[in-house]
Amino acid sequence: MGKMPLPEQLTGDAWSPAIARKILPLLVAHAEACKPITYGQLSREVMRRRWGHYVMPVAYRYPAGAIGYALEETGEEWGEPIPPINALVVNDATGLPGKGIDYFLRTYLRQTNPIKRLTDNQREPIVGEIHKDIFNYAGWRKLLQYYGLDKLPSLAATKAGKKPKLKRYHWSSEPESEAHKRLKKYISEHPKLIGVDMKSAPGLTEYLLPSADQIDVLFSEEGWQIAVEVKALNANDDDLYRGIFQCVKYRELLRAEQRTERVIPQARAVLATERELPKRLQRVAELLKVPCVCVALTNKD
């Protein structure tokens, strides 16, 4: 595919379209590296590469918006949605794009129910979904060639940490224990233990996902789905470690299921255990954004 005329939003010598043409290949490089970029980092990159003069970092929302509208127009020409790569530009403090991105998020997701304003709680999972689409999109280099912007800048190298040693895990393969059944039932009837303010029906147990995975307990609350992976007192450390990753899997599968149903992807997963996680597993859970709740049933009827 040869070079085509640039969309109107990227043409002209004004600061915004001129900078947009410069930073689009940089955003593509970040997309291929699966790395968002903050407004502050973007400002420093523009200065370091001598692409323009200094402006307040927040001003980059204008060239980022120009890129978003250009991709929307090109996506219509191609007959395929192009992920809004401008969503990779995020706030230094929150790690989320500015609220000006909400239009592009709603448009790209093709929501069937129109939404005037997204809440902060809604934006976090949506941005996570969009970032994955940006990272997985295979047409970025084709797009740069189409625009005549096919020079991909190199990113600053980062120091690689030590590669972790492979570990053999010892997961329990026994049938579901009575302790596990008891804890699962108790949590399904006491949603407030995991931060769900439900006063009516108990949670569903053994909820079957399209992947054939089963969630121990699933709660639904105001558009949100909350999966609970249950680990009883007899679970060893490897089982707890596995539980953290099960939560990651359930969270992603629930969001994928919601996207196929054309609703806002709002899902989270909680690990509920009968004993405190060891410190090293707490760090893993924090890194993967998996909340953990300790529920002691040893002395309960």
pTM for the model? 0.73
Q: What is the pLDDT of residue 17?
A: 95
Q: Pairing relation of β-strands 214-221 and 224-231?
A: antiparallel
Give CA angle at 216 (214, 218), nearest 5°: 95
Q: What is the pLDDT of residue 200?
A: 54
**pLDDT tens digit string along 124-181?**
888 888 899 999 899 999 999 999 987 888 887 655 556 556 566 666 666 778 888 9
Burial of 48 (0-12, 13-18, 19+ CB in 10 A): exposed
Q: What is the mean pLDDT of each run of 10 residues along the chain (301 residues)?
A: 76 95 96 94 94 92 94 93 93 86 75 60 84 92 90 73 60 74 91 76 87 93 89 92 95 90 86 94 93 78 49
Helices 39-48 and 15-32 cross at an angle (nearest 10°) of 110
